[in-house]
């Protein structure tokens, strides 16, 4: 043999850690961002785990809260094709991390080989001795009952017992359990990464929002917080849990917009709440006509008594009258003539709005000030922010400010109002926004809804992008609502409230089915509340108030509707009818929704269901209980008939009741 | 305004770098492994690049050799939906790295806004001043002609020229180019990762292998290297470029296997070359009956003169007679009775093979010794290793040893002989193997071939898993070959040689269409050369030698067949006919293959082609030149008829010649 050449290159790995761990999922962007869950939800982790040769592996999922040191362990189980899986539940808001370890389990390998050795194998005696050695080594590390049991097993394997007896002991459940607990973990491979989880309180996943303008809550004059008590009761009676207010700060005078966004406001025009800042103060002040800071506190407390949480609008922009403009001129961009650069999207000019210049020299001071705005309102009891146009401020700012806030207040939630390009919306969700507005507002056909919600609930984004869906907003009155009449509002309400666990409406325009756009082709409301006070007749007999209350009640009663991960669409042989189901994790609650998307005509068709997925046996009839109307239908098999008249009820929200009673259920049968 | 609360948490990011870069592709396992290319190939990189708001971006792809310091820059171009792309070519073997940078391009943003401003915009004068400032700032950093030009432009923009003139200058190509070159790069975002490329010489991508047993190259006795000259000429005449030899080392005596893998060998039985090691030496020695090390050198040199490269088998295992067993008993596992543990897969026992114990105490010494085996043969002129069963040795060992070898010898190639589970095969390719055996050997139907090669060329693995396909090996005589006769061998040869840029056959069993399996249901050859000498009549008139030579010639002449990235399958309305195309990057070479998979019957059908993808205009006839037979067919439109009789030629290998001459091509037309 030729003389071995030696090199001095040091070997830097632990070469005996033979197990390989790859492709640990879920994760977001190589771990750059955490996946998201809410308190109580399961995290199911999968990984490719394998080893060279034929040895058997043991693998554990490790997880812990970010601020704890001890890892909890869950055994991974093989799914086939070298894919393994395990689950755990997150129990507190905040950050968690997880990773996977694996090692060659020589005892399992030995046991597996033993099952394949015939009794005639001449080496069998030696094989049992090898087993005894493995058991003895495991026993060496412990004391007590388990050590005794392992000792006894080792003696049997190495002693004079029959092959049959040794085989019985070697393959027993007891030895498997004991060795699982105590066998040496040698040469452990650890996945190179730890992935993160951002855990929020439950409302991040399941919430029903109602947006309204407090200034329009009084029928005679500019409403104030104190005037809103009846309105809050009204909102609570419909089963909402979040009231979201447009900005509550002093409104600028310079370039104030008049009704219908006209350029010249009259002195008594109220202006847009998004033109923030006046001599009375800026982002940390309350508009005098709404009341005082104390009135705001009263409003938050009153809402709280009705189980309503207040969400505040955060719009980081200034009217020319904002105190910042004088106190911090360095935070704004200058034009060549020295004047402050207003917002512009040529040829449009927005002279009533000064954007911050995030590229200014004192950007760090600006960031800290903007953060202090949120901290101020957190101090006033607010825990939800609806952030206006986050896609026009730097991503790094949001990542920093949300991270800082959540570090001390993990219960604060952020809704991103970014109606923009998909990758921008996704980035905002990745970097920290709890949930995001969606394109739902413009998805009306069966194809559009199916494609979009399949993407939202099945594509990669499901790990970090939580949808918040709105049939209308003060900015958007979609043509489907403009032309579909009252049934269209019912359709869109049911879709929003059952396709997504989090949804909201802008009222009372919604429940009163306001359909007037400013002009043909526009999605702006005529006489929009953004620029003027509006009077609403909440008691109109055609109000959808009761219908909305029923839908929200159904949402509260059915866990299936409180999450989005298990949404599935089902075939109907009529393109005007859409059908989908949502299920609770354990199939204890199954909700099937059928909606007639045609607000004008009665539609009928045959629904096709994957019964096995819903836990129904093929030959067994099952009851469909329509929670909207109370009607019950007996269905059987995979194909069943539905018919929906928009003038009566444009939708079924069925709860599937799996068993239909038969003669066996009655006493007199026996 | 409430007093601003200040916190002391430092801001650790450069908050003004507003551009975002995400999802830079290709990459493998979060960058844990490099993508692979060969010298001269293009690397096309894509990334999501975007920014808050409406500003325009500039983005560059950066790349460099790992051992250089300077980055080369390629401008990224937008593809739509915030996806950007750029390409470069790798020119040398070794490691490269690449990443992406981006920044807000204020000049581009300004120019874009200018196009949307009407001449009536009252701010236009100020807008041109802003442009002049940007241009002046760019000029400040440079001298020479460009500085002068920028200065002149700035003067025009800030001077008294007409709006029309200023607009013309501002939107000119010249200013765009100058500003692209010189505009300040402020607040640059750099992608957080650098991804790697492993660049190999061309043979890693395109090679034609021929495996044979040198000991069977003499018709009367045990052949030696020196007896192989005629055989090498014969192999070269068929157009192969790699000859691969089974292990050439001394063969063990203990438990030597007899013909057809019988347990009891007679004294003159030659044994399996994979039972490595005897008193004459181990992995760094040559089997005495094949000759001396000098004879091996002669063999390598003689092959080289014929443009044949020698690939050596690396099988890290020992016969009981291997010198290692006595010299390094610590490298082997012991049984309870102290004897060495032979290879076992219960109930099968392989007493002639001792595997190394990679979990032994002296594993580092073992690793270094195994590396020295490769270094020894590299010293003897070998640059290709075909590695036997790498999946039964630790992954970390391969990653280390291949990394170490390639660090000093980037021209060495490694073929992984791992016929095992997909994730194991992929891991071996990721960690460094140049190419890998595939499941091709067992993929015979149209559906199987289409699915498998679509996966190989379109799924993620395409970035690191290079296929090497073999219709047969000394271990595998697939049933398709056993029962399909000579046409089956032609079919499989054409498929292997045109579906994959790298393929190999085990001969002369292949070209002589050896069909006898050891027993029904077995894929082992009867009287396999693994255990005995064989005599081959290379001059048999039915030999496929000429057919193979023609196919290899077609491969050499057509760049389209020298890569796998552009394989595409096309519809044929007959499941026995498979059709696919391969194209050179620039469409300068388009090869279309149609194979009759039925070795027994004539089959016909209509082929359907995506003409636009092949650069053919719909109404234009085109010529299909069958490179196998020399026949030419005029086709037109998307559907054309093919008919293949396995008894004459079971395949077309068409070169698509785009133009068919018309009257316009002849002098007398005018």
Cβ neighbours of A117 in B, within 8 Å: 346-347
CA separation for the pair B492, B473 (Å, rounded): 13
Task: Choose the closest CB to A4 out of B186, B192, B372.
Answer: B372
Picking from B400, B237, B256, B365, the residue whose alpha carbon sits closest to that of residue B306 is B237
Q: Residue B8: pLDDT band by 50, 70, 90 thresholds? A: low
Q: With contact defined as beta carbons under 8 Å apart, do B46 and B25 qualify?
A: yes
Contacts of A421 in chain B (CB under 8 A): 50, 81-82
Task: Decide if B78 touches A, using CB distance below 8 A.
Answer: no
To the nearest whole Å, the CA of A70 is away from the closest chain B CA by: 27
**A15/B396 CB distance under 8 A:** yes
Residue among A27, A198, A352, A388 flagged as catalytic: A388
Q: Which residues of B are catalytically annotated?
A: 388, 417
Whole-number pLDDT of residue B665? 66
Residues 6+ apart with CB under 8 A from B152: none
Measure CB to CB from residue B29 to each of A22, A284, A391 and give the nearest one.
Answer: A22
* Distance in Å, alpha carbon of A13 to nearest chain B alpha carbon: 8
Residues 6+ positions from B648 with CB-CB distance below 8 Å: none
Distance CA A15, CA B361 (A): 11
Distance CA A199, CA A410 (A): 8
- pLDDT: is B667 or B569 the higher one? B569
pLDDT band, very low/low/confident/very high, at B617 (cuts 50, 70, 90): confident
Question: What part of B 182-221 touches A (C-beta under 8 Å)?
Answer: 186-187, 192-193
Question: What tens digit of pLDDT does each residue of A615-643 get?
Answer: 888 788 999 999 999 999 999 999 999 99
- At residue A613, does pLDDT exceed 90? no
Residue with tokens 């390598």: B300
Q: Are A502 and A205 in contact (CB under 8 A)?
A: yes
- From the list B18, B117, B423, which residue is nearest A82 (CB)? B423
Mean pLDDT of A183-212: 97
Chain B residues closer than 8 Å to A377 by CB = none
Quick check: B616 pLDDT over 90?
no
Please tell me the pTM assigned to this model: 0.94
Decide: B51 and B104 in contact? Cβ < 8 Å: yes
| Contact between chains at B11 and A130 (C-beta distance less than 8 A) | no
Q: What pLDDT, on a 0 to 100 scale, did the predictor assign at position B670? A: 52
Structure tokens at B83: 């996806």
pLDDT (tens digit, 9 = 90+) per residue, A127-159? 999 999 999 999 998 999 999 999 999 999 999
The DSSP call for residue B11 is: P
Residue of B nearest to A80 (CA): B421
> A285 to chain B: which residues are within 8 Å by CB?
1-2
Mean pLDDT (chain B) is 95
Residues of A (28-47) whose Cβ lies below 8 Å from B: 29-32
Contact A1 B282 (CB under 8 A): yes
CA distance A162 to A156: 9
Distance CA A409, CA B287 (A): 74
CB atoms A18 and B391 under 8 Å? no
Rounded average pLDDT over A55-60: 97
Tens of pLDDT along A393-410? 999 999 999 999 999 999
How many CA atoms, within 13 angstroms, populate the side-chain half-sphere of residue A526?
A: 9
Share of chain A above pLDDT 70, in %: 97
For residues A4-21, give the mean pLDDT.
80
ipTM more than 0.85? yes
- For residues A286-290, give the mean pLDDT: 98
pLDDT of residue A658: 79
- Give the C-alpha separation, B509 to B274, whole Å: 19
Asked if residues B215 and B290 have their Cβ atoms less than 8 Å apart, the reply is: yes
Q: Which of B14, B16, B167, B184 to mutate to test the interface with A (most CBs of A within 10 A)?
A: B16
pLDDT band for A1, please (50, 70, 90 cuts): very low
Task: pLDDT band for B2, please (50, 70, 90 cuts).
Answer: very low
Q: Round to whole Å and give the CA distance between A177 and A111.
A: 13
The predicted model gives B362-377 an average pLDDT of 98
Q: Which of A508, A504, A518 has the alpha carbon at shortest distance from A542?
A: A508
CB contact under 8 A, A400 and B344: no
**Chain segment B200-258, per-residue pLDDT in tens:** 999 999 999 999 999 999 888 999 999 999 999 999 999 999 999 999 999 999 999 99
Interface of A with B in 354-393 (CB under 8 A): 358-359, 363-364, 367-369, 371-372, 375-376, 391-393
Asked whether residue A666 carries a pLDDT value surpassing 80, the answer given is no
* Number of other residues whose CB lies within 10 A of the CB of residue B160: 7
- Which tens digits make up the pLDDT trace of A321-359? 999 999 999 999 999 899 999 999 888 999 999 999 999
Question: What end-to-end distance do the CA atoms of chain A give, in Å?
Answer: 87
- Is residue A564 annotated as a catalytic residue, yes or no? no
Closest to A323 (Cβ–Cβ): which among B1, B16, B113? Answer: B1
Could you give phi then psi for residue B376, rounded to 5 degrees? -60, -50
Whole-number pLDDT of residue A664: 66
When scoring A6, A285, A322, A346 by the number of chain B Cβ atoms within 10 A, the one with the most, hence best to mutate, is: A346
Interface of A with B in 383-442 (CB under 8 A): 391-397, 399-400, 404, 421-424, 427
**Residue A586 confidence (pLDDT) above 90:** no
Query: How confident is residue B523, by pLDDT bands cut at 50, 70 and 90?
Result: very high
Angle at B664 between CA B660 and CA B668, to 5 degrees: 125
What pLDDT band is residue A93 in, cutting at 50, 70 and 90? very high
**Among A220-234, A560-574, A606-620, B501-515, whose mean pLDDT is lowest?**
A606-620
Instruction: Tell me: pLDDT of A665 over 90.
Output: no
CA distance B670 to B667: 6
The answer to whether the bond into A574 is cis (omega within 30° of 0) is no
| Contact at CB, B18 and A359, closer than 8 angstroms | yes
pLDDT digits (tens, 9 = 90+) for A163-176: 999 999 999 999 99
| Mean pLDDT of the B358-368 span | 97
Residues in B closer than 8 angstroms to A396, CB to CB, are 13-15, 17-18
Residue A190: pLDDT band (50, 70, 90) is very high
3-class state of residue B497 by DSSP = helix
pLDDT at residue B399 above 60? yes
Q: What's residue A3's pLDDT?
A: 47
Identify the band that residue B3 occupies on the pLDDT scale cut at 50, 70 and 90: very low
| Mean pLDDT value across residues B329-340 | 95
Q: Do B116 and A7 touch (CB under 8 A)?
A: no
C-alpha radius of gyration, chain A, whole number: 32
Q: What is the pLDDT of residue B668?
A: 63
CB contact under 8 A, A52 and B4: no
Write down the pLDDT at residue B619.
80
- Per-residue model confidence as pLDDT tens digits over B567-585: 999 999 999 999 999 999 8
Yes or no, beta carbons of A285 and B2 under 8 Å apart: yes
What average pLDDT is seen over chain A? 95
pLDDT of residue B141: 85
The percentage of chain B sitting over the pLDDT mark of 70, rounded to a whole number, equals: 97
What is the per-residue DSSP string for B361-416?
TTHHHHHHHHHHHHHHHHHTT--EEEEE-GGGS-HHHHHHHHHHHHHH-TT-EEEE
């Amino acid at each position: 043999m030729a003389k071995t050449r030696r090199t001095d290159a040091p070997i830097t790995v632990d070469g005996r850690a033979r197990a390989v761990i790859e492709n640990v999922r879920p994760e977001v962007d190589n771990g750059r961002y955490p996946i998201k869950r809410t308190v109580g939800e399961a995290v199911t982790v999968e990984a490719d785990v394998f080893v060279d040769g034929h040895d058997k592996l043991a693998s554990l999922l490790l997880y812990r809260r970010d601020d704890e040191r001890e890892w909890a362990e869950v055994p991974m189980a093989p799914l086939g094709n070298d894919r393994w899986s395990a689950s755990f539940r997150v129990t507190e808001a905040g950050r968690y991390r997880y990773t996977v370890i694996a090692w060659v389990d020589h005892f399992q390998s030995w046991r597996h080989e033993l099952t394949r050795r015939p009794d005639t194998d001449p080496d069998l005696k030696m094989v049992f001795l090898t087993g005894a050695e493995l058991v003895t080594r495991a026993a060496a590390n412990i004391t007590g009952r388990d050590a005794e049991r392992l000792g006894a097993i080792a003696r049997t394997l190495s002693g004079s017992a029959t092959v049959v007896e040794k085989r019985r002991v070697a393959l027993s459940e007891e030895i498997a359990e004991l060795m699982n607990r105590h066998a040496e973990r040698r040469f452990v491979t650890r996945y190179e990464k730890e992935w993160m989880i951002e855990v929020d309180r439950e409302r991040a996943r399941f919430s029903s929002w109602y947006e309204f303008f407090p200034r329009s809550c009084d029928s005679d004059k500019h409403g104030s917080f104190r005037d809103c008590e009846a309105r809050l009761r009204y909102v609570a009676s419909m089963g909402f849990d979040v009231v979201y207010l447009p900005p509550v700060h002093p409104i600028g005078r310079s370039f104030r917009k008049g009704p219908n966004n006209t350029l010249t406001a009259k002195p008594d025009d109220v202006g847009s709440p998004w033109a923030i800042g006046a001599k009375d103060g800026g982002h940390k002040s309350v508009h005098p006509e709404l009341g005082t800071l104390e009135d705001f506190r009263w409003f938050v407390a009153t809402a709280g008594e009705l189980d309503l949480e207040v969400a505040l609008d955060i719009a980081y922009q200034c009217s020319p009258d904002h105190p910042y403009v004088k106190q911090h001129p360095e935070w704004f961009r200058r034009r060549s003539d020295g004047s402050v650069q207003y917002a512009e999207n040529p040829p449009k000019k927005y002279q009533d709005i000064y954007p911050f210049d995030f590229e200014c020299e004192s950007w760090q001071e600006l960031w800290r000030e903007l953060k202090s705005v949120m901290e101020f309102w957190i101090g006033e009891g607010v825990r939800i922010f609806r952030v206006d146009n986050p896609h026009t401020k730097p991503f790094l700012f949001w990542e920093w400010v949300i991270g800082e806030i959540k570090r001390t207040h993990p219960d604060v939630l952020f809704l991103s109002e970014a109606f923009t390009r998909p990758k921008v919306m996704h980035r905002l969700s990745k970097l920290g926004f709890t949930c995001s507005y969606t394109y739902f507002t413009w998805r009306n056909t069966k194809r559009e809804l199916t494609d979009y919600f399949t993407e939202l609930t099945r594509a990669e984004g499901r790990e970090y992008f939580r949808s918040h869906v709105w049939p209308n907003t003060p900015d958007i009155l979609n043509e489907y609502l403009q032309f579909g009449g009252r049934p269209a509002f019912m359709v869109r309400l049911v879709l929003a409230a059952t396709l997504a666990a989090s949804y909201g409406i802008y009222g009372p325009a919604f429940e009163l089915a306001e359909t007037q756009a400013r002009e043909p082709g526009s999605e702006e409301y005529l006489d929009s509340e953004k620029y003027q006070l509006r009077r609403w007749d909440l008691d109109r007999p055609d109000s959808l108030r009761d219908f909305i209350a029923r839908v929200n009640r159904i949402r509260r009663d059915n866990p299936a509707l409180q999450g989005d991960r298990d949404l599935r669409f089902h075939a109907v042989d009529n393109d005007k009818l859409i059908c989908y189901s949502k299920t609770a994790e354990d199939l204890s609650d199954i909700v099937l929704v059928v909606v007639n998307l045609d607000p004008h005509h009665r539609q009928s068709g045959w629904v096709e269901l994957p019964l096995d997925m819903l836990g129904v046996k093929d030959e067994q009839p099952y009851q469909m209980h329509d929670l909207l109307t109370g009607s019950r239908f007996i269905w059987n098999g995979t194909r069943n008939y539905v018919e929906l008249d928009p003038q009566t009820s444009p939708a079924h929200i069925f709860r599937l009741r799996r068993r239909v009673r038969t003669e066996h259920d009655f006493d007199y049968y026996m």
